[in-house]
Amino acid sequence: MKSILICGATGFIGRNLLDYYYKQGKYKIRAVHFNRPALEGYDGVEWVKADLRNPETVKEVLQGIDIVLQFAATTSGSKDITSRPYIHVTDNAVMNSLLLRECYEQSIEHFVFPSCTVMYQPSSCALAECDFNGDQELFPTYFGVGNTKVYIEKMCEFFSRLGRTKHTVMRHSNMYGPYDKYDLERSHMFGATITKVMTSEDGKVHVWGTGEEARDLLYVEDLVKFVDASIEKQTTPYELFNVGLGKATKVKDVVYKIVKYSGRDLEIVHDLSKPTIPTSLFLDCTKAKEILDWEPETTLDEGIVKTLNWYKENI
C-alpha cells in the first residue's frame, strides 16, 4: 500500500482530503499539522506536528512517502490581503522550496500543489491556462501572493524536468464548503457571508462593497476529486490545470442565494466603506476534462445547500 502525505491536514482543503482518503482506505496516511492540534477520530492515521519552514523537519516528514499533497500555507481573507499582503509571501515560498527540493532528493513519486487564480487579469471571458501573461502587471493587491504562486509553479516545473517526481499544479478558483474558515477575521467572502447570515441578530446582512465583482466558486468536494484524478490519471512529468466551476457569479447574487437557502428573512445591506477587491474572472477547465476526465459535479445552488447543512450541524 502506498503512503500519502497530507500537509495542512487540519486546514480547509487538507481536512477534506483527509476525510476523503481516510474513508477510501487505499493509502497509508501521514497527516501534518502545526498551529492546530491533531484531530481525533482518524484511527490509523499517523499525525506529525511539523514546521515545514525547517529543512531537517521536512526531510524527516517525507521519509517513506510516495505522494505529497501540499496544502499547508499561510492563508487569510480579503482583509489581510488588503492590509497585510506580505504575510502570504515569505513562509509559503520557504516551505514549498524546501518541500520541492526534498521530494527530489528522496525521489518522491508525485507532488500536488494548489496555486490560485490571482495571477490572471480580470476578464469577462473564461480564462484558460495559457491566458496568463507574465509581462502584464498583476493587480496591485495581489502582486505579492500572485508572484509567489507563479514562482512555486515554475519550481514545480523545474524539478519535474529533473526526472524523479511527477508534479501537478492547479490554479483553483474560490473554494467553499465544509471546514472552511467561518470567523469574520480570517474567512473569505463565502465563509464570511455564511457566518453573517446564520448569526445575524438585527435582521440584516452587511456585505463589503458593491457586490458587483464576480467569482468562480467551486465546492471543495469537486477539488478533492480533481486531486484524486491527477494521482490516478496524469502520466506526464508536469501539468498545470485550471480547476473551477467555469462560471462567474456576482458576489451580491451569492449573498442572495445564501440568504434564500438559509430560510432566514434578512435584508442585504452593502457597506461601501469596507474594502472591495474589484476583480471578476472565471476559468476554462477544458484541459482538466481532456486529460483527467475531470469536471465539477456540484452546482453553486447544490453546494450552498450542502454547506449550510454542514454549518448547522457542526458550527
* CATH code of 94's domain: 3.40.50.720
Q: What is the pLDDT of residue 83?
A: 67
Residue 192 counted as domain residue: no
Residue 75 counted as domain residue: yes
Q: What is the band of 81 on the pLDDT scale with cuts at 50, 70, 90?
A: low
Q: Of 12-26, 37-51, 67-81, 255-269, which gets the smallest average pLDDT?
A: 67-81
Average pLDDT over residues 41-58: 97
Average pLDDT over residues 227-231: 98
Q: What is the band of 271 on the pLDDT scale with cuts at 50, 70, 90?
A: confident
Q: What is the pLDDT of residue 162?
A: 98
Residue 196 counted as domain residue: no
pTM, full prediction: 0.93
Q: Among candidates 77, 92, 71, which has minimal Cα distance to 18?
A: 71
Find residue 3's DSSP bridge partners. 28
Residue 168 counted as domain residue: yes
Q: What is the pLDDT of residue 76?
A: 57
Instruction: Give the burial string for 173-186 (b: 16+ CB within 10 Å, else e).
Output: bbbbbbbbbbeeee
Q: What is the pLDDT of residue 186?
A: 77
Q: What is the pLDDT of residue 188?
A: 84
Q: What is the pLDDT of residue 168?
A: 98
Q: Domain span at residue 36? A: 3-176+217-247+280-297
Percent of the chain with pLDDT over 90: 79
Residue 171 counted as domain residue: yes
Set of cell numbers at residue 81: 490581503
Average pLDDT over residues 57-70: 98
Is residue 78's pLDDT more than 70? no
Residue 260 counted as domain residue: no
Distance CA 32, CA 9 (A): 6
Set of cell numbers at residue 2: 502506498
Residue 237 counted as domain residue: yes
Residue 197 counted as domain residue: no
Q: What is the pLDDT of residue 209?
A: 85
Q: What is the pLDDT of residue 80?
A: 60
Is residue 301's pLDDT more than 80? yes
- Total residues found in the chain within this entry: 315
> How many distinct structural domains can be found in the chain?
1
